[in-house]
Amino acid sequence: MQPVLNVEDVKRVESGLTEVGVSISELMHRAGTAAANEVMRTDDVSSVTVFCGLGNNGGDGWVAAESLRKRDIDVTVVTPVAPDDIQGDLARVVAKSAQSAGVKMLVAPPKGRVEELLLSTDVVVDAMLGTGFHGDPRAPFDIWIECINASGATVIAVDVPSGLSAQTGLASSRCVIADMTVTMLVLKPGLLADMGRDACGTIVVAPLAEQTERLVLEADPVAWRADLEDYVDVLAPPSNAVDKFTRGSVLVVGGSLRFPGAPLLAAQAAARSGAGYVTLAVPEPVAPILQSQMPEIPVMGLPSDPDGTFSAEAADIVAELALKRTATLVGPGMRVSGGTVGVVSKLISSEVPLVIDADGLNCLARLTSNKLDDFPELLRRNEPLILTPHRRELGRLVGQQEVPPASLTAAMEAARRIVWTDGGSEITVVAKGSATACVSVDAAVLPKPGPAALATAGSGDVLGGVVAAFLARSNVGNDDLPVLSALACEVHGYAGSIAAERFGSHGVMARDIIDALGLAEDALEEQIAFPESTDMD
Ligand SMILES: NC(=O)C1=CN([C@@H]2O[C@H](COP(=O)(O)OP(=O)(O)OC[C@H]3O[C@@H](n4cnc5c(N)ncnc54)[C@H](O)[C@@H]3O)[C@@H](O)[C@H]2O)[C@@H](O)CC1
Ligand SMILES: [K+]
């Protein structure tokens, strides 16, 4: 797994490196050289424009420019001020060095001149704003960002695309859209989430020093990006000595007259994700509708209120059914009512492996008056519990219903409050978003995110079914639940990619993701077993 460090903790690595004799100035030289090396790997590069800012990110850019000049590249630096006028000592020194080495420069050029230069530029190096950036990019950087994005040149960002927050992954107005980001020392969360996914392109980590790896670990990574090899042990090896029950049995509890389709999607997804036996428990009037849709999956009609949601009598029946299954998913399409809150409450207090999704989470929020983290006794259990909230559901669980977590780091923080409520390693929160984090008290694991095609109605119900099926099939310890959940997310994401190929990136419906799940899992398992022979990007 690859560590991800909060930006403020990167400074600890930097000072640790200084203590072992790698100065900031040396780091800047290595950073600039690392960026220049990536430029040289680009096909047919002869002319490069380096846009430099006024801080150390700009310093990296000046070093890169000098390094490229020495390799006979036609390089021009665009800078707001002449080297002599740069305030920061480090950046000024490297800028003057580049100037002495004969690097061409344009100081505070008008927009038209920048556009003209970009017409004959193969590669842009973006070294305007790095981790010291905050707020909105001010002139001239906002203007230059616009010119760079319009240029069509290959763009390599130094550390982080200018205009993007390396911490939050949010970008307010303008932000460089790079083809590649050469990030220094370690991954930062903002590169992996939200706008970061569009802005960074391929991410290359430049460790800069051999001590970096150790220092990063000591600086307490906020998350870990999963590699394929991390999934090797979480799914039981295939065996022919199985029957439909030993392959994992899943109970899906949910549905209402208003939303009958959601549990259907979840149950189908569980079946397509390798659970040998899937059963649906829905309010009584919904049962005949669903049974006619799905001959493979037995549908049980449970006591219902007149509005077509579970009544109070359903809870005990659900709990009995759940005891006979290897995993239970509760929530899809269930609505929030006295009866459904009772069902969720009963399942949580039963010792059954449990996944709570969608309205199951909203019931939990109702049950705890939006303060799940104030109810440790509720989450005290020995069997696995996986919550799969999107950001709004997550917000409702931890008192942020008005302003839900807006970034990956904020979502991870909210998820941590839940898992630490009872300090339980058997709880995992799958905090869903354009980048998803699978958070337990031990770790936050980031699966490779899927395509935007996944953002479609019912896609969350499908993921709930995949997670439940994987929980039912696996025999991992509770410590491995974040990795298991991350694998479920990757299979879901990969299925989304297959579906997008079949139906177009704008044409995917949840049912298409379901149909691709089996093939997606096979393809991923192949790549996990033979990582060298396949290219995941
Ligand atoms: N952390 C490390 O160990 C290393 C950091 N290095 C580089 O140093 C960078 C961080 O350097 P700094 O802390 O100097 O920060 P930056 O270079 O990111 O930015 C600071 C400069 O940007 C300006 N600025 C901030 N917000 C702005 C806005 N909204 N509009 C316009 N200007 C704005 C500031 O006034 C300041 O001049 C990293 O991103 C990386 O590129 C590398 O040199 C190597 C090692
Ligand atoms: K940058």
CATH number at residue 464: 3.40.1190.20
Same structural domain, 299 and 269: yes
* pLDDT of 537 over the 60 cut: no
Q: SS3 of 505, please?
A: coil
Ligand nearest to the CA of 56: 1
Distance of CA 113 to the CA centre of its chain: 39
421: tokens are: 């409520």
Distance CA 200, CA 176 (A): 8
Q: How many domains does the chain have?
A: 2
**Binding-site annotation: residue ranges for AMP:** 432-436, 460
**β-strand 437-439 against 427-431: which pairing, if any?**
antiparallel
Which residues does residue 156 pair with via DSSP β-bridges, in sequence order? 125, 180
Say which residues have a Cβ less than 8 Å from residue 90's Cβ, sequence separation at least 6: 24, 25, 28, 56, 59
| Ligand 1 atom at minimum distance from 30 CA | 44
pLDDT in tens, 126-147: 999 999 999 999 999 999 999 9
* pLDDT of 536 over the 50 cut: no
- Measured CA to CA in angstroms, residue 2 lies from 223, 379, 484 at distances of 8, 30, 17
Q: Are 428 and 467 spatial neighbours (Cβ–Cβ below 8 Å)?
A: no
Distance 60 CA to ligand 1 centre (A): 10
Residue 13 lies in a domain: yes
Ligand nearest to the CA of 80: 1
Q: Are 496 and 504 spatial neighbours (Cβ–Cβ below 8 Å)?
A: no
- Which of 149, 145, 159 shows the shortest CA–CA distance to 200? 159
Distance CA 319, CA 344 (A): 9
Same structural domain, 58 and 194: yes
pLDDT in tens, 405-453: 999 999 999 999 999 998 877 899 999 998 999 999 999 999 999 999 9
Is residue 233 in contact with ligand 1, taking CB distance under 6 Å? no
Ligand nearest to the CA of 137: 1
Choosing from 8, 18, 131, 134 the residue with most ligand 1 atoms within 8 A of its CB, the one to mutate for a pocket test is 131
Residue 528: band (very low, low, confident or very high) from pLDDT cuts 50, 70, 90: confident
Nearest CA owner, ligand 1 atom 43? 28
Same structural domain, 346 and 421: yes
Distance 57 CA to ligand 1 centre (A): 5
Residue 439 lies in a domain: yes
Neighbours of 36 (CB within 10 A): 28
Task: Give φ, ψ of 347 to 5 degrees.
Answer: -65, -40
Ligand nearest to the CA of 212: 1
Q: What is the CATH number of the domain that holds 14?
A: 3.40.50.10260
Helix, strand and coil percent figures for the chain, each rounded to 5: 45, 15, 40
Same structural domain, 247 and 221: no
Task: Quote the pLDDT of residue 238.
Answer: 67
Last residue of one domain, picked from the residues 166, 195, 225:
225
Prediction pTM value: 0.94
369: tokens are: 């008056």
What mean pLDDT comes out for the span 480-501? 96
Last residue of one domain, picked from the residues 163, 195, 225:
225
Distance CA 410, CA 423 (A): 19
pLDDT in tens, 148-191: 999 999 999 999 999 999 999 999 779 999 999 999 999 999 99
Is residue 464 in contact with ligand 1, taking CB distance under 6 Å? no
pLDDT in tens, 182-236: 999 999 999 999 999 999 999 999 999 999 999 999 999 999 999 999 998 887 6
Say which residues have a Cβ less than 8 Å from residue 471's Cβ, sequence separation at least 6: 326, 327, 353, 355, 384, 386, 481, 484
Distance CA 99, CA 399 (A): 55
Of 27-36, 58-67, 108-117, 368-377, the one with minimum mean pLDDT is 368-377
Ligand nearest to the CA of 139: 1
60: tokens are: 């990296």
Last residue of one domain, picked from the residues 225, 255, 284:
225
Q: What's the full length of the chain, in residues?
A: 537
Is residue 135 in contact with ligand 1, taking CB distance under 6 Å? yes
Q: Using only the alpha carbons of the chain, give its radius of gyration.
A: 26
Whether the CA torsion 201, 524, 450, 445 is positive or negative: it is negative
Same structural domain, 390 and 488: yes
Say which residues have a Cβ less than 8 Å from residue 270's Cβ, sequence separation at least 6: 250, 252, 278, 329, 465, 466, 468, 469, 472
Burial (Cβ within 10 Å: 0-12, 13-18, ≥19) of residue 423: exposed
Residue 238 lies in a domain: no
| Ligand 1 atom at minimum distance from 58 CA | 17
Is residue 35 in contact with ligand 1, taking CB distance under 6 Å? no
Q: Are 395 and 404 spatial neighbours (Cβ–Cβ below 8 Å)?
A: yes
Nearest CA owner, ligand 1 atom 26? 133
Q: What one-character-per-residue DSSP string does 92-143 give?
A: HHHHHHHHHTT-EEEES--HHHHHHHHHT-SEEEEES--TT--SSPPTTHHH
> Packing angle between helix 459-473 and helix 358-367, nearest 10 degrees?
90
105: domain range? 2-225
Task: Quote the pLDDT of residue 424.
Answer: 75
Same structural domain, 201 and 261: no
Task: Quote the pLDDT of residue 533.
Answer: 61
Distance 74 CA to ligand 2 centre (A): 21
Is residue 60 in contact with ligand 1, taking CB distance under 6 Å? yes
Q: Are 388 and 481 spatial neighbours (Cβ–Cβ below 8 Å)?
A: no
pLDDT in tens, 331-379: 999 999 999 999 999 999 999 999 999 999 999 999 999 999 999 888 8
535: tokens are: 């290219």
Choosing from 13, 28, 184 the residue with most ligand 1 atoms within 8 A of its CB, the one to mutate for a pocket test is 184
For residues 483-514, one letter each, b for 16 or more C-beta atoms within 10 angstroms of the residue's C-beta and e for the rest, the string is bbbbbbbbbbbbbbbbbbeeeeeeebbbbbbb
Task: Quote the pLDDT of residue 236.
Answer: 67
Same structural domain, 159 and 305: no
Is residue 482 in contact with ligand 1, taking CB distance under 6 Å? no
Same structural domain, 194 and 250: no
pLDDT in tens, 239-260: 676 766 677 899 999 999 999 9
Same structural domain, 316 and 219: no
Q: List strands edge to edge, sheet with 249-253.
A: 2-4, 223-225, 444-446, 437-439, 427-431, 385-387, 354-356, 327-330, 249-253, 277-283, 299-302
| Ligand 1 atom at minimum distance from 54 CA | 37
Distance CA 290, CA 282 (A): 9
Same structural domain, 33 and 65: yes
Burial (Cβ within 10 Å: 0-12, 13-18, ≥19) of residue 177: buried
Distance 128 CA to ligand 2 centre (A): 5
**Binding-site annotation: residue ranges for K(+):** 57, 126, 162
Distance 373 CA to ligand 1 centre (A): 37
Of 168-182, 226-240, 263-277, 478-492, the one with minimum mean pLDDT is 226-240
Same structural domain, 215 and 263: no
Q: SS3 of 51, please?
A: strand
| Ligand 1 atom at minimum distance from 160 CA | 39
Nearest CA owner, ligand 1 atom 36? 55
Is residue 130 in contact with ligand 1, taking CB distance under 6 Å? yes
Outline where DSSP puts E strands in 128-222.
154-158, 180-184, 202-206
Residue 536 lies in a domain: no
Nearest CA owner, ligand 1 atom 28? 137
7: tokens are: 């930006």
ipTM higher than threshold 0.90: yes
Residue 437 lies in a domain: yes
Residue 234 lies in a domain: no
Same structural domain, 221 and 262: no
pLDDT in tens, 284-326: 999 999 999 888 899 999 999 999 999 999 999 999 999 999 9
